[in-house]
Copies of this chain bind each other. A is one copy, B any other.
Amino acid sequence: MKITRRGLMTGTTGLAAGAVVGAAAGVATERSGDSTGVASYPFRGAHQQGILTPVQDRLHFAAFDVTTTDRAALVRLLQDWTEAAERMVAGGSAGPVGPVEGDDRLPPDDTGEAIGLPASRLTLTFGFGPGLFSDADGEDRFGLADRRPKALRPLPHFASDAIDEARSGGDLCVQACADDPQVAVHAIRNLARIGMGTVAVRWSQLGFGRTSSTSRSQATPRNLFGFKDGTASVKSEERDAIEEFVWVAPGDDPRAEWLAGGSYLAARRINMRIETWDRQSLRTQEELVGRTKSSGAPLSGGDEFDEMDLEMPGRDGPVVPVDSHVAVVHPDNNGGVRMLRRGYNFVDGSDVLGGMDSGLFFVAFVRDPDTHFIPLQSAMAKQDALMEYLKFTGSALFAVPPGVRPGEFVGQALFA
């Protein structure tokens, strides 16, 4: 069985696109950190991929500014992106011809750096930013203003935010997740290439290590504080929680029925002061998080996935401190809301002070940011003891249209 990402010449063996290979069969899944046994995921369906999908190891996230005011050009872009995305997630090249097969007097329709690489569980997830519905001057440049989802506004300023505008916002976003970063980068780069003249990359972020699990079958990974991250995130097996907290339901937003079956993506680039963190005692670190560093169990006892007891008394106050991160953001203290987190660790070299410019690129999918994200981020900014070790440097919110049905392009219902 061989995948021929067009131009395959190296003899690297891949798994067939769309194929599910039983892990029990003992087949090595190349570059698949979680041995899901899956080579690729279908691009079309009721919901977009890359949300419930078992979290892949690496991320390349890009936000784009739309540089045209021509609605038809925007639609054409989304059509072209849909075609290219469907090909690439199946392990193919960005264009129909391929990186090396065409007329050599023309630029290739694929850039070639993924030749020979398997699909690597690539998923591509598209989102629409507030700017698509009205530009910086409030201009309704694409005639979409009256279909703007009610919660799609730039995120507010939270206490102690240190947001860099150059790493924030965007009219469109694409989240590329894959087990091989070269495959994720290739996808973003080719979408940017296809969009030349219509969109320009506003910012992009590489993530090297996942910090969440979206399936009970995935081990919980660790963030750069060394703690398990993703334990209490909504899992794909929790059917009810997904309906309640992830997907926008029909009727949620009469102005934006096109978003039903979609979601909102909140992105926060969070620098972590790891040098200071590393000087704290293990006990302090655990009290800041509210869970143990070894197993990820709540400080109130039990195993990683056991319920935490926020009331259990400790020496002074509850054993899970009231200002610990998990206490502050726990559903019991936030009207029962939960979110599907899907963030990644990043290191972008050094900051000006010689520390590593590193942290967590936080990504959450929520049904309604006004009730499921903003209140928690506010609570965190105000009460969370972990804040002393964090610096929020990027921020963005996107509406994620529902899945792409056969024959449709991404977000088609918005333009209908």
A residues contacting B by CB (< 8 A) are 7, 9-12, 26, 28-31, 33, 35, 58, 60, 65, 99-100, 102-108, 111-116, 166-167, 180-182, 185, 189, 192-193, 196, 200-206, 208-209, 219-227, 274-275, 278-283, 285-286, 292-295, 345, 347-350, 352, 354-356, 358
Contact = CB atoms under 8 A, between A and B. Distances in A.
Contacts of A219: 10-12, 116
Contact of A60 (B167, B196, B285, B347): B347
A206 to B, nearest CB: 6
B112 A202 contact: no
Nearest to A114: B222
Contacts of A292: 100
A166 B351 CA distance: 10
Chain A contact residues, majority secondary structure: loop
B226 A106 contact: no
Contacts of A200: 354
A242 B241 CA distance: 60
- In the complex, the count of this chain's copies comes to 2
A14 B208 CA distance: 20
Which one of A35, A192, A206, A350 has the highest number of Cβ atoms from chain B below 10 Å of its Cβ? A350
B203 A181 contact: no
18 contacts: A58-B181, A100-B293, A104-B281, A105-B281, A107-B280, A111-B274, A112-B226, A112-B227, A114-B222, A116-B219, A166-B350, A185-B208, A185-B224, A185-B345, A200-B354, A204-B349, A204-B350, A206-B348
Given A208-B206, A349-B204, A356-B204, A107 B281 contact: yes
Given A11-B219, A354-B200, A349 B205 contact: yes
Contacts of A115: 222, 226, 294
Contact of A112 (B28, B107, B222, B348): B222
A193 B295 CA distance: 24
Given A200-B354, A206-B208, 7 more contacts: A100-B293, A116-B219, A181-B181, A182-B221, A189-B358, A204-B350, A206-B206
A97 to B, nearest CB: 10
Contact of A209 (B106, B181, B350): B181
Nearest to A102: B282
Contacts of A204: 347, 349-350, 356
A283 to B, nearest CB: 4
A113 B354 contact: no
A282 B167 CA distance: 34
